[in-house]
Structure 1
Amino acid sequence: MSPRYLLHFAMSLLVLLPACSLLTEREPVRLFMLAEPTLETSREAPLDQALRVDTPSAGSPLNGPRLLVMPSPGELQAYAGARWRDDAPLLLRDALIEAFRLDGRLTTVVDDASRARSDATLTSHLSAFHSRYRDGRPEVVIRLDAQLLDEGSREVLASRRFEVVVSSRDESIEAVVAAFGRATEALSRQLVEWTQEVIEDQFTPLGHDHLAFDDVLQFADITRPGVTLEHLQLSRRDPDARPVELLAGTEQEMSRQ
Protein backbone atom coordinates (compact mmCIF):
# COMPACT_ATOMS: atom_id res chain seq x y z
CA MET A 1 0.00 0.00 0.00
CA SER A 2 1.58 3.28 -1.14
CA PRO A 3 2.18 6.19 1.26
CA ARG A 4 0.03 8.43 -0.96
CA TYR A 5 -2.95 6.03 -0.60
CA LEU A 6 -2.51 5.94 3.17
CA LEU A 7 -2.48 9.73 3.26
CA HIS A 8 -5.73 9.99 1.29
CA PHE A 9 -7.34 7.34 3.53
CA ALA A 10 -6.38 9.20 6.70
CA MET A 11 -7.70 12.50 5.35
CA SER A 12 -11.01 10.82 4.45
CA LEU A 13 -11.37 9.58 8.03
CA LEU A 14 -10.76 13.08 9.35
CA VAL A 15 -13.56 14.40 7.14
CA LEU A 16 -16.04 11.66 8.08
CA LEU A 17 -15.51 11.62 11.85
CA PRO A 18 -17.01 15.09 12.53
CA ALA A 19 -20.08 14.19 10.46
CA CYS A 20 -20.56 10.97 12.41
CA SER A 21 -20.25 12.80 15.70
CA LEU A 22 -22.96 15.26 14.58
CA LEU A 23 -25.32 12.42 13.76
CA THR A 24 -24.80 10.63 17.05
CA GLU A 25 -25.12 13.82 19.11
CA ARG A 26 -28.55 14.81 17.72
CA GLU A 27 -31.20 15.34 20.36
CA PRO A 28 -33.38 12.21 20.55
CA VAL A 29 -37.06 12.58 19.63
CA ARG A 30 -39.40 12.20 22.60
CA LEU A 31 -42.61 10.28 21.92
CA PHE A 32 -45.77 11.32 23.75
CA MET A 33 -49.21 9.77 24.11
CA LEU A 34 -52.52 11.09 25.39
CA ALA A 35 -53.42 10.40 28.99
CA GLU A 36 -55.93 7.59 29.43
CA PRO A 37 -59.51 8.82 29.95
CA THR A 38 -60.96 8.64 33.44
CA LEU A 39 -64.67 8.44 32.64
CA GLU A 40 -66.76 6.54 35.16
CA THR A 41 -68.93 3.63 34.04
CA SER A 42 -72.56 4.64 33.66
CA ARG A 43 -75.12 3.04 35.97
CA GLU A 44 -77.62 2.83 33.12
CA ALA A 45 -78.33 -0.54 31.54
CA PRO A 46 -76.34 -0.89 28.29
CA LEU A 47 -78.16 -0.73 24.97
CA ASP A 48 -77.80 -3.70 22.65
CA GLN A 49 -76.27 -1.53 19.94
CA ALA A 50 -72.91 -1.64 18.19
CA LEU A 51 -71.01 1.54 17.31
CA ARG A 52 -68.16 1.82 14.83
CA VAL A 53 -65.78 4.75 15.37
CA ASP A 54 -63.95 5.77 12.20
CA THR A 55 -60.55 7.43 12.27
CA PRO A 56 -61.14 11.18 11.86
CA SER A 57 -60.10 12.66 8.55
CA ALA A 58 -57.65 15.55 8.68
CA GLY A 59 -55.54 17.65 6.37
CA SER A 60 -51.79 18.13 6.58
CA PRO A 61 -50.08 18.62 8.99
CA LEU A 62 -52.88 17.60 11.38
CA ASN A 63 -52.85 14.08 9.93
CA GLY A 64 -49.31 13.40 11.12
CA PRO A 65 -47.49 12.73 14.41
CA ARG A 66 -46.09 16.20 15.06
CA LEU A 67 -47.05 18.21 18.13
CA LEU A 68 -48.28 21.43 16.59
CA VAL A 69 -48.31 24.97 17.93
CA MET A 70 -49.86 28.09 16.39
CA PRO A 71 -47.59 30.98 17.52
CA SER A 72 -49.66 33.45 15.49
CA PRO A 73 -52.97 33.20 13.62
CA GLY A 74 -52.62 31.23 10.40
CA GLU A 75 -49.14 29.87 11.21
CA LEU A 76 -48.47 26.32 12.38
CA GLN A 77 -45.12 25.12 13.71
CA ALA A 78 -44.00 21.87 15.31
CA TYR A 79 -42.39 21.44 18.73
CA ALA A 80 -38.75 20.46 18.23
CA GLY A 81 -37.68 17.04 19.42
CA ALA A 82 -41.24 15.88 20.24
CA ARG A 83 -43.73 13.64 18.44
CA TRP A 84 -46.97 11.89 19.18
CA ARG A 85 -46.68 8.13 19.47
CA ASP A 86 -48.95 7.82 16.42
CA ASP A 87 -50.67 10.12 13.96
CA ALA A 88 -52.95 12.55 15.79
CA PRO A 89 -56.23 11.27 14.22
CA LEU A 90 -55.41 7.71 15.32
CA LEU A 91 -54.63 8.85 18.85
CA LEU A 92 -57.94 10.70 19.03
CA ARG A 93 -59.89 7.75 17.61
CA ASP A 94 -58.41 5.37 20.18
CA ALA A 95 -59.17 7.82 22.99
CA LEU A 96 -62.79 8.13 21.86
CA ILE A 97 -63.22 4.36 21.65
CA GLU A 98 -61.80 3.93 25.14
CA ALA A 99 -64.19 6.60 26.44
CA PHE A 100 -67.21 4.82 24.92
CA ARG A 101 -66.09 1.51 26.39
CA LEU A 102 -65.52 3.01 29.83
CA ASP A 103 -68.96 4.63 29.72
CA GLY A 104 -70.46 1.21 29.06
CA ARG A 105 -73.88 2.26 27.74
CA LEU A 106 -73.29 0.55 24.38
CA THR A 107 -72.63 -3.18 24.29
CA THR A 108 -70.11 -3.02 21.43
CA VAL A 109 -67.69 -0.31 20.27
CA VAL A 110 -65.22 -1.11 17.47
CA ASP A 111 -62.81 0.79 15.23
CA ASP A 112 -62.88 1.11 11.46
CA ALA A 113 -60.47 -1.82 11.03
CA SER A 114 -62.93 -4.26 12.61
CA ARG A 115 -65.13 -6.48 10.46
CA ALA A 116 -67.77 -6.74 13.18
CA ARG A 117 -71.33 -5.69 12.41
CA SER A 118 -72.38 -2.28 13.68
CA ASP A 119 -75.66 -0.39 13.93
CA ALA A 120 -74.21 3.12 13.71
CA THR A 121 -70.95 4.70 12.58
CA LEU A 122 -69.33 7.79 14.03
CA THR A 123 -67.39 9.67 11.35
CA SER A 124 -65.61 12.97 11.87
CA HIS A 125 -63.19 15.55 10.52
CA LEU A 126 -60.42 16.96 12.71
CA SER A 127 -59.80 20.62 11.90
CA ALA A 128 -57.82 21.66 14.99
CA PHE A 129 -55.45 19.73 17.25
CA HIS A 130 -52.79 22.17 18.34
CA SER A 131 -51.69 24.57 21.04
CA ARG A 132 -51.84 28.32 20.66
CA TYR A 133 -50.95 31.39 22.71
CA ARG A 134 -53.48 33.68 24.35
CA ASP A 135 -52.29 36.55 26.53
CA GLY A 136 -48.82 35.03 26.46
CA ARG A 137 -49.91 31.63 27.80
CA PRO A 138 -50.36 28.40 25.81
CA GLU A 139 -53.71 26.69 25.48
CA VAL A 140 -54.82 23.61 23.56
CA VAL A 141 -57.68 23.67 21.08
CA ILE A 142 -59.39 20.60 19.57
CA ARG A 143 -62.12 21.01 16.96
CA LEU A 144 -64.03 18.03 15.58
CA ASP A 145 -66.97 17.93 13.17
CA ALA A 146 -68.86 14.70 13.88
CA GLN A 147 -71.58 12.84 12.00
CA LEU A 148 -73.49 9.80 13.21
CA LEU A 149 -74.60 7.49 10.39
CA ASP A 150 -77.09 4.65 10.22
CA GLU A 151 -74.85 1.77 9.17
CA GLY A 152 -77.59 0.11 7.12
CA SER A 153 -78.82 3.07 5.07
CA ARG A 154 -75.73 5.32 5.49
CA GLU A 155 -78.17 8.11 6.31
CA VAL A 156 -76.80 10.93 8.46
CA LEU A 157 -78.75 10.73 11.71
CA ALA A 158 -77.15 13.78 13.32
CA SER A 159 -74.15 16.07 13.01
CA ARG A 160 -72.47 18.50 15.36
CA ARG A 161 -69.28 20.53 15.76
CA PHE A 162 -67.33 20.08 18.99
CA GLU A 163 -64.65 22.50 20.13
CA VAL A 164 -62.72 22.33 23.39
CA VAL A 165 -60.13 24.80 24.67
CA VAL A 166 -57.98 23.97 27.72
CA SER A 167 -55.23 26.15 29.19
CA SER A 168 -51.76 24.74 29.80
CA ARG A 169 -50.21 25.24 33.24
CA ASP A 170 -46.98 26.51 31.69
CA GLU A 171 -45.00 26.51 28.44
CA SER A 172 -43.15 23.22 29.00
CA ILE A 173 -43.82 20.40 26.56
CA GLU A 174 -44.93 18.19 29.46
CA ALA A 175 -47.57 20.73 30.53
CA VAL A 176 -48.79 21.18 26.96
CA VAL A 177 -49.13 17.41 26.47
CA ALA A 178 -51.06 17.20 29.75
CA ALA A 179 -53.39 19.94 28.45
CA PHE A 180 -53.95 17.88 25.27
CA GLY A 181 -54.99 15.00 27.52
CA ARG A 182 -57.50 17.11 29.47
CA ALA A 183 -58.92 18.60 26.27
CA THR A 184 -59.32 15.14 24.72
CA GLU A 185 -61.16 13.88 27.78
CA ALA A 186 -63.50 16.89 27.79
CA LEU A 187 -64.21 16.32 24.10
CA SER A 188 -64.78 12.60 24.73
CA ARG A 189 -67.34 13.29 27.45
CA GLN A 190 -69.32 15.63 25.20
CA LEU A 191 -69.17 13.27 22.24
CA VAL A 192 -70.19 10.21 24.27
CA GLU A 193 -73.25 11.99 25.69
CA TRP A 194 -74.30 13.34 22.30
CA THR A 195 -73.87 9.99 20.56
CA GLN A 196 -75.76 8.20 23.30
CA GLU A 197 -78.69 10.60 23.01
CA VAL A 198 -78.88 10.19 19.24
CA ILE A 199 -78.69 6.39 19.40
CA GLU A 200 -81.36 6.21 22.10
CA ASP A 201 -83.57 8.47 19.99
CA GLN A 202 -83.03 6.60 16.73
CA PHE A 203 -82.62 2.94 17.66
CA THR A 204 -84.64 2.26 20.81
CA PRO A 205 -88.40 1.60 21.13
CA LEU A 206 -88.92 4.83 23.06
CA GLY A 207 -87.05 6.93 20.52
CA HIS A 208 -87.20 8.03 16.87
CA ASP A 209 -89.85 5.73 15.37
CA HIS A 210 -92.03 5.98 18.46
CA LEU A 211 -91.94 9.68 19.14
CA ALA A 212 -95.39 10.07 17.56
CA PHE A 213 -96.97 7.56 19.95
CA ASP A 214 -98.60 10.31 22.03
CA ASP A 215 -100.00 11.78 18.83
CA VAL A 216 -101.61 8.44 18.03
CA LEU A 217 -103.29 8.39 21.43
CA GLN A 218 -104.90 11.74 20.62
CA PHE A 219 -106.72 10.09 17.70
CA ALA A 220 -107.66 6.79 19.30
CA ASP A 221 -109.63 5.70 22.34
CA ILE A 222 -107.53 2.81 23.62
CA THR A 223 -110.32 1.89 26.01
CA ARG A 224 -112.45 0.60 23.12
CA PRO A 225 -112.75 -3.20 23.06
CA GLY A 226 -110.17 -4.82 20.85
CA VAL A 227 -107.82 -1.79 20.69
CA THR A 228 -104.56 -2.52 22.44
CA LEU A 229 -101.20 -0.84 22.76
CA GLU A 230 -99.90 -3.45 20.36
CA HIS A 231 -102.31 -2.18 17.72
CA LEU A 232 -101.15 1.39 18.23
CA GLN A 233 -97.40 0.79 18.52
CA LEU A 234 -95.54 2.37 15.63
CA SER A 235 -93.75 -0.03 13.32
CA ARG A 236 -90.08 0.27 12.47
CA ARG A 237 -90.99 -1.00 9.01
CA ASP A 238 -92.80 2.29 8.35
CA PRO A 239 -91.12 4.90 10.55
CA ASP A 240 -92.31 7.82 8.40
CA ALA A 241 -96.02 7.00 8.65
CA ARG A 242 -98.15 9.72 10.19
CA PRO A 243 -100.33 8.94 13.26
CA VAL A 244 -103.58 9.27 11.30
CA GLU A 245 -102.33 6.80 8.69
CA LEU A 246 -101.26 4.36 11.38
CA LEU A 247 -104.62 4.65 13.10
CA ALA A 248 -106.44 4.00 9.82
CA GLY A 249 -104.30 0.94 9.28
CA THR A 250 -105.11 -0.25 12.79
CA GLU A 251 -108.85 0.11 12.21
CA GLN A 252 -108.60 -1.78 8.91
CA GLU A 253 -106.74 -4.58 10.67
CA MET A 254 -109.42 -4.71 13.38
CA SER A 255 -112.20 -4.88 10.77
CA ARG A 256 -110.63 -8.00 9.31
CA GLN A 257 -110.45 -9.71 12.70
Structure 2
Amino acid sequence: MGIFQTSAIYLVLFTIVRSSARDDEWKSATATYSKETDGSIITEGACGYGDLHKTSYGKYSAGLSSLLFNQGRTCGGCFELRCVDHILWCLQASPSVIVTVTDFCPPNYGLASDYGGWCNFPREHFEMSEGAFSEIAERRADIVPVQYRRVNCVRNGGLRFTLTGSSYFYQVLITNVGLDGEVVAVKVKGSKTGWIPMGRNWGQNWQCTIHLGGQPLSFEVTSSSGRTVTSYNIAPPNWQFGQTFEGRQF
Protein backbone atom coordinates (compact mmCIF):
# COMPACT_ATOMS: atom_id res chain seq x y z
CA MET A 1 0.00 0.00 0.00
CA GLY A 2 1.42 3.39 -1.01
CA ILE A 3 2.16 6.19 1.42
CA PHE A 4 -0.60 8.36 -0.06
CA GLN A 5 -3.22 5.61 0.32
CA THR A 6 -2.13 4.98 3.91
CA SER A 7 -2.28 8.70 4.71
CA ALA A 8 -5.75 8.95 3.19
CA ILE A 9 -7.01 6.04 5.32
CA TYR A 10 -5.59 7.59 8.50
CA LEU A 11 -7.18 10.92 7.58
CA VAL A 12 -10.61 9.30 7.16
CA LEU A 13 -10.29 7.40 10.45
CA PHE A 14 -9.16 10.55 12.26
CA THR A 15 -12.14 12.49 10.87
CA ILE A 16 -14.58 9.79 12.02
CA VAL A 17 -13.09 9.61 15.51
CA ARG A 18 -12.98 13.39 15.83
CA SER A 19 -16.60 13.67 14.64
CA SER A 20 -17.75 11.02 17.13
CA ALA A 21 -15.91 12.76 19.95
CA ARG A 22 -17.53 16.06 19.00
CA ASP A 23 -21.01 14.48 19.14
CA ASP A 24 -20.27 13.23 22.67
CA GLU A 25 -18.88 16.52 23.96
CA TRP A 26 -20.64 18.21 26.88
CA LYS A 27 -21.93 21.68 26.05
CA SER A 28 -23.04 24.46 28.40
CA ALA A 29 -26.61 25.64 28.96
CA THR A 30 -29.04 26.51 31.77
CA ALA A 31 -32.11 24.76 33.16
CA THR A 32 -35.27 25.50 35.11
CA TYR A 33 -38.36 23.35 35.69
CA SER A 34 -42.12 23.42 35.25
CA LYS A 35 -43.94 22.57 38.47
CA GLU A 36 -46.66 19.88 38.30
CA THR A 37 -48.46 18.07 41.12
CA ASP A 38 -46.73 14.76 40.42
CA GLY A 39 -43.35 16.18 39.41
CA SER A 40 -43.87 15.55 35.69
CA ILE A 41 -45.07 17.49 32.67
CA ILE A 42 -48.47 16.18 31.61
CA THR A 43 -49.84 18.94 29.40
CA GLU A 44 -49.71 18.87 25.62
CA GLY A 45 -46.67 20.66 24.31
CA ALA A 46 -45.41 21.97 20.99
CA CYS A 47 -44.39 18.50 19.80
CA GLY A 48 -48.02 17.32 19.83
CA TYR A 49 -47.59 14.31 22.10
CA GLY A 50 -50.69 15.01 24.20
CA ASP A 51 -50.77 13.38 27.65
CA LEU A 52 -47.09 12.61 28.15
CA HIS A 53 -47.79 9.76 30.55
CA LYS A 54 -49.46 7.85 27.72
CA THR A 55 -46.30 8.23 25.67
CA SER A 56 -44.08 7.43 28.70
CA TYR A 57 -42.31 10.81 28.43
CA GLY A 58 -44.03 12.44 31.42
CA LYS A 59 -41.42 12.46 34.18
CA TYR A 60 -38.42 12.71 31.90
CA SER A 61 -39.36 15.47 29.49
CA ALA A 62 -38.23 18.99 28.65
CA GLY A 63 -38.98 22.05 26.55
CA LEU A 64 -36.16 23.68 24.62
CA SER A 65 -35.30 27.25 23.76
CA SER A 66 -35.51 28.34 20.11
CA LEU A 67 -31.91 27.54 19.21
CA LEU A 68 -32.16 23.95 20.45
CA PHE A 69 -35.78 23.32 19.42
CA ASN A 70 -34.96 23.97 15.77
CA GLN A 71 -38.58 24.64 14.74
CA GLY A 72 -39.73 21.28 16.11
CA ARG A 73 -37.20 19.11 14.33
CA THR A 74 -35.66 18.12 17.68
CA CYS A 75 -38.98 16.73 19.01
CA GLY A 76 -38.46 13.23 20.37
CA GLY A 77 -34.70 13.62 20.68
CA CYS A 78 -32.93 12.70 23.92
CA PHE A 79 -30.45 14.76 25.91
CA GLU A 80 -28.35 13.85 28.91
CA LEU A 81 -28.01 16.71 31.41
CA ARG A 82 -26.03 17.30 34.58
CA CYS A 83 -25.91 20.28 36.94
CA VAL A 84 -22.45 21.87 37.22
CA ASP A 85 -20.53 24.70 38.83
CA HIS A 86 -23.03 25.58 41.57
CA ILE A 87 -22.08 24.28 45.00
CA LEU A 88 -25.39 25.35 46.56
CA TRP A 89 -27.90 23.94 44.03
CA CYS A 90 -26.19 21.07 42.19
CA LEU A 91 -26.46 17.64 43.77
CA GLN A 92 -23.19 16.09 44.90
CA ALA A 93 -21.20 14.05 42.36
CA SER A 94 -23.10 15.74 39.48
CA PRO A 95 -25.53 12.90 38.65
CA SER A 96 -27.04 13.04 35.16
CA VAL A 97 -30.55 12.48 33.81
CA ILE A 98 -31.84 11.76 30.30
CA VAL A 99 -34.86 13.71 29.04
CA THR A 100 -36.97 13.61 25.87
CA VAL A 101 -37.81 16.80 23.97
CA THR A 102 -41.58 17.32 24.16
CA ASP A 103 -42.12 21.09 24.11
CA PHE A 104 -40.90 24.53 23.09
CA CYS A 105 -39.80 27.12 25.64
CA PRO A 106 -40.85 30.45 24.05
CA PRO A 107 -38.73 33.58 24.37
CA ASN A 108 -39.83 36.46 26.58
CA TYR A 109 -38.12 39.55 25.25
CA GLY A 110 -39.84 41.68 27.89
CA LEU A 111 -37.30 40.25 30.34
CA ALA A 112 -33.53 40.31 30.20
CA SER A 113 -32.01 37.07 28.94
CA ASP A 114 -30.09 36.68 32.20
CA TYR A 115 -33.09 37.57 34.40
CA GLY A 116 -36.26 35.75 33.45
CA GLY A 117 -35.84 35.60 29.68
CA TRP A 118 -34.09 32.26 29.93
CA CYS A 119 -35.35 31.07 26.53
CA ASN A 120 -34.52 34.23 24.61
CA PHE A 121 -32.50 33.64 21.44
CA PRO A 122 -29.65 32.65 21.27
CA ARG A 123 -29.62 31.15 24.80
CA GLU A 124 -29.47 27.37 25.14
CA HIS A 125 -31.98 26.48 27.83
CA PHE A 126 -33.94 23.45 29.08
CA GLU A 127 -37.30 23.76 30.83
CA MET A 128 -37.40 20.37 32.53
CA SER A 129 -40.10 18.45 34.35
CA GLU A 130 -39.81 18.87 38.10
CA GLY A 131 -39.13 15.16 38.59
CA ALA A 132 -36.21 15.15 36.16
CA PHE A 133 -34.82 18.44 37.50
CA SER A 134 -34.80 17.10 41.07
CA GLU A 135 -32.49 14.27 40.01
CA ILE A 136 -29.68 16.72 39.24
CA ALA A 137 -30.40 19.81 41.39
CA GLU A 138 -32.23 21.07 44.46
CA ARG A 139 -35.89 21.92 43.84
CA ARG A 140 -35.37 25.23 45.66
CA ALA A 141 -33.14 26.40 42.84
CA ASP A 142 -34.44 29.04 40.45
CA ILE A 143 -32.10 28.40 37.53
CA VAL A 144 -29.00 26.24 37.38
CA PRO A 145 -26.03 25.92 35.02
CA VAL A 146 -25.98 22.56 33.25
CA GLN A 147 -23.98 20.63 30.73
CA TYR A 148 -25.76 18.61 28.06
CA ARG A 149 -25.07 16.22 25.22
CA ARG A 150 -27.16 14.31 22.68
CA VAL A 151 -27.66 10.61 23.39
CA ASN A 152 -29.63 7.79 21.78
CA CYS A 153 -33.13 7.18 23.12
CA VAL A 154 -33.78 3.85 24.83
CA ARG A 155 -37.41 2.77 24.29
CA ASN A 156 -39.47 -0.26 25.24
CA GLY A 157 -41.40 -1.80 22.35
CA GLY A 158 -41.79 -0.49 18.84
CA LEU A 159 -42.69 2.83 17.24
CA ARG A 160 -46.28 3.87 18.00
CA PHE A 161 -48.59 5.34 15.38
CA THR A 162 -51.72 7.19 16.53
CA LEU A 163 -54.17 7.89 13.70
CA THR A 164 -56.34 11.01 13.64
CA GLY A 165 -58.10 13.10 11.02
CA SER A 166 -61.24 12.79 8.90
CA SER A 167 -62.42 11.47 5.51
CA TYR A 168 -59.67 12.73 3.23
CA PHE A 169 -57.30 14.19 5.81
CA TYR A 170 -55.10 11.65 7.53
CA GLN A 171 -52.72 12.47 10.33
CA VAL A 172 -50.42 10.20 12.32
CA LEU A 173 -48.56 11.01 15.54
CA ILE A 174 -45.35 9.01 15.89
CA THR A 175 -44.04 8.33 19.40
CA ASN A 176 -41.70 5.98 21.30
CA VAL A 177 -38.96 6.52 18.72
CA GLY A 178 -35.61 4.97 19.55
CA LEU A 179 -32.14 5.73 18.20
CA ASP A 180 -31.78 9.53 17.85
CA GLY A 181 -35.53 9.97 18.49
CA GLU A 182 -36.05 12.48 15.69
CA VAL A 183 -38.33 11.65 12.76
CA VAL A 184 -37.47 13.55 9.59
CA ALA A 185 -39.55 11.74 6.95
CA VAL A 186 -42.63 9.49 6.87
CA LYS A 187 -44.36 7.52 4.12
CA VAL A 188 -47.66 5.64 4.32
CA LYS A 189 -48.96 2.85 2.09
CA GLY A 190 -52.38 1.28 1.80
CA SER A 191 -53.21 -1.95 0.02
CA LYS A 192 -54.55 0.11 -2.91
CA THR A 193 -51.76 2.69 -3.07
CA GLY A 194 -48.05 2.98 -3.51
CA TRP A 195 -45.82 4.68 -0.93
CA ILE A 196 -47.15 8.19 -0.22
CA PRO A 197 -44.86 10.82 1.38
CA MET A 198 -46.45 12.54 4.37
CA GLY A 199 -45.80 16.16 5.28
CA ARG A 200 -44.99 17.44 8.75
CA ASN A 201 -48.10 19.10 10.18
CA TRP A 202 -46.53 20.19 13.47
CA GLY A 203 -44.18 18.60 15.98
CA GLN A 204 -44.25 14.88 15.25
CA ASN A 205 -47.68 14.90 13.56
CA TRP A 206 -47.52 13.92 9.89
CA GLN A 207 -50.30 14.28 7.32
CA CYS A 208 -51.52 13.43 3.83
CA THR A 209 -54.76 13.96 1.90
CA ILE A 210 -55.11 10.61 0.12
CA HIS A 211 -58.12 8.37 0.88
CA LEU A 212 -56.84 5.45 2.98
CA GLY A 213 -60.03 4.16 4.57
CA GLY A 214 -60.72 0.42 4.48
CA GLN A 215 -57.09 -0.47 3.76
CA PRO A 216 -54.37 -2.00 5.94
CA LEU A 217 -51.67 0.62 6.51
CA SER A 218 -47.89 0.36 6.40
CA PHE A 219 -45.45 3.08 7.45
CA GLU A 220 -41.89 3.91 6.50
CA VAL A 221 -40.11 6.16 9.01
CA THR A 222 -36.71 7.83 8.59
CA SER A 223 -34.74 9.25 11.52
CA SER A 224 -32.33 12.18 11.47
CA SER A 225 -29.42 9.72 11.40
CA GLY A 226 -30.62 8.59 7.97
CA ARG A 227 -31.80 5.15 9.08
CA THR A 228 -35.19 3.92 7.85
CA VAL A 229 -37.50 1.33 9.38
CA THR A 230 -40.61 -0.07 7.68
CA SER A 231 -43.64 -1.46 9.53
CA TYR A 232 -45.90 -3.47 7.21
CA ASN A 233 -49.69 -3.77 7.62
CA ILE A 234 -49.70 -2.69 11.27
CA ALA A 235 -53.17 -1.11 11.02
CA PRO A 236 -55.89 -3.58 9.88
CA PRO A 237 -58.41 -2.69 7.13
CA ASN A 238 -61.03 -1.71 9.76
CA TRP A 239 -58.78 0.72 11.65
CA GLN A 240 -60.46 3.76 13.25
CA PHE A 241 -59.31 7.30 14.01
CA GLY A 242 -58.03 7.59 17.57
CA GLN A 243 -56.45 4.14 17.57
CA THR A 244 -52.75 3.52 18.21
CA PHE A 245 -50.76 0.76 16.53
CA GLU A 246 -47.25 -0.50 17.24
CA GLY A 247 -44.63 -1.07 14.56
CA ARG A 248 -40.98 -1.96 14.34
CA GLN A 249 -38.26 -0.14 16.28
CA PHE A 250 -34.98 1.26 14.99
TM-score range, shorter chain: under 0.3
- Greater relative contact order: 1 or 2 (C-alpha under 8 angstroms, separation 6 or more)? 2
Q: What is the TM-score of this pair, normalised by structure 1? A: 0.24
More strand, by proportion: 2
Q: Which has the larger radius of gyration?
A: 1
